[in-house]
Amino acid sequence: MVKGAEYLYSDRMIQEYGEKFDEAIWKAGENARKYTPEFYEVYLRTMLGEPDLRLVHILASFNSGDGYSYRIYGFLRKGMV
């Protein structure tokens, strides 16, 4: 655990910030190699509107009931970095 880190599930984040999803994926792809930590950091910064956000964890798993995969992003916001 990283002191002060917040965690968001990828599926819940898309539900809450879905209108920014296309822009965030495009911007991340323009600024980093796909599916790298840097890619997800740019993605999160865009989705959440937090340019100083720092990604500290990516946890990947799946729902054993339906096989759906998801990620959990751990990050620090400005002031916690």
pLDDT of residue 55: 97
State pLDDT tens for residues 7-42: 999 988 888 888 889 999 999 999 999 999 999 999
What is d(CA 13, CA 71) in angstroms, rounded to the nearest whole number?
Answer: 10
pLDDT of residue 43: 95
39 near 32, Cβ under 8 Å? Answer: yes
76 near 53, Cβ under 8 Å? Answer: yes
Domains of the chain, by residue range, sit at: 6-76
Among residues 4, 3, 11, 6, which one has the least CA distance to residue 71?
11
The mean pLDDT value for 54-63 works out to 94
Beta bridge partners of 80: none
